[in-house]
Chains A and B, each alone.
Chain A
């Protein structure tokens, strides 16, 4: 059997190489199209159009790496960041899979299951989008239906309501049972409430806010743990 370190290095080597090829590939597409139709834009035009996006998306990437990689593990992270739709599909999907399996993030089992979950999720999303692309004309009335628009516009409240219950419930976490973990959300929720409603709306700043909240959340949890409000006990094996 491979050691953990060997597996870790192997999955990262594969992730880095395949992600680098992907990086080249995504620039190849506009390059071939521009060459074939002779529509190359000027460098200054491209830089001007790119700069704004670059300045917005790069800090978001920093916050996503710091916040999500410890939860997803390496393999799932490469796939998640490559296939996009991170916080609305891939991260919740992987977290749900770990919760159902009763394993913790940043564990060997967690790393493996989250990678399987994100791979499956990416294939399903791609299949749904292919279907939608193929059926765009016949599905146009469905997509234009106000009920469908309303339902899909509310995907985030629907998603995070279910996730919140599932995660605040705590309990089984691999080889241990955690009690009182839900109390650790009070401090970050209060901070977000104060900032969002009294200082400035965080819409568009979610990534940065998560980044700032991570140490706040961990320190709050540490305080509760020290005070005995959050407890960790070994799981008693069932006969």
Chain B
């Protein structure tokens, strides 16, 4: 049995399809519970509709980057397994690294070499990529409730400052991701600056001309347009 006979075999596709279907049902159930709660809390239907619409538009562009990750992984691991990993649990930034780490631990220099050694390495790679996340999943199951509960308690206890403290938590994420862009070359900096400028301009237009719908899509439009601008900046830098 060859590596790709299994990796692109119908059995793996069926199993992966079932796994993804399970997570989609879960998404639908979480949504149902949340929508019911939203109604109980008196959240305006328009707010919910805007949340849905902006989330759809916002997600499309970064998802294309994930799809590109699938295209990058498919020649080494087939389509089914990367499709599963990138749809659920995995991250486009870690998956290829995870597959390569598992492969090198098996004694192969690269994924392509493992694929030449028959189907056996595929089983080990799938187990390793899954087992590597076992600790993370167990921690999630145990601690999400505890941390959320603690955050709400601390926020309430801290009074007005609690609102500030929760608000600034995201600043730590921003600082960690934004500051390194300035060392990644002109294209990254120019793309970042374009995104900043576009967000400001679109926010100004939405406010000045009272275009309410635009307000919901500023981030999504800035994201897509500034991604496109990176092509221009790359051409100019060359």
Partner of B41, one of A108, A115, A139, A192: A108
Contact of A129 among B86, B119, B223 (CB under 8 A): B86
Known: A22-B23, A105-B166. A41 touches B145 (CB 8 A): no
Residues of B at the A interface (CB closer than 8 Å) are 1, 6, 9, 11-12, 15-16, 19-20, 22-24, 26-31, 33-35, 37-38, 40-41, 43, 47-48, 50-52, 54-56, 58-68, 70-71, 74, 79, 83-94, 98, 101-102, 105-106, 119-141, 143-145, 147-149, 151-152, 155, 160-161, 163-181, 183-184, 187-189, 191-196, 198-200, 203, 215-216, 218-219, 222-224, 226-231, 234
Interchain CB contact under 8 A, B166 and A106 = yes
Q: Output the least CB separation between A237 and chain B (Å).
A: 15
Known contacts A89-B63, A178-B164: A74-B34 contact under CB 8 Å: no
Given A46-B131, A58-B135, A158-B222: A67 touches B148 (CB 8 Å cut-off): no
- Nearest CB in chain A: distance from B221 CB, A: 9
A1-49, CB < 8 A from B: 1-2, 7-8, 10-12, 14-16, 18-23, 25-30, 32-34, 36-37, 39-41, 45-46, 48-49
Q: A53-B98, A184-B168 are in contact. Are A69 and B122 (CB under 8 A)?
A: no
Would you call A89 and B62 a contact (CB within 8 A)?
A: yes
Size range of the chain A interface in the assembly? 35 or more
Contact of B167 among A104, A151, A157 (CB under 8 A): A104
Q: Chain B residues near A210 (CB, 8 Å)?
A: 172-173, 176
Q: A88-B91, A119-B28 are in contact. Are A78 and B163 (CB under 8 A)?
A: no
Residues of chain B with a CB closer than 8 A to A101's CB: 47, 50-51
In the assembled complex, the Cα of A27 lies from the Cα of B29 at a distance in Å of 23
* Residue from A49, A218, A222 in contact with B105 in the complex, judged by beta carbons closer than 8 Å: A49
Assess the A39–B56 pair: CB atoms within 8 A: no
Instruction: Please state if A112 and B34 are interface contacts (CB–CB under 8 Å).
Output: yes
Q: Which of A49, A58, A88, A128 contacts B136 (CB 8 A)?
A: A58
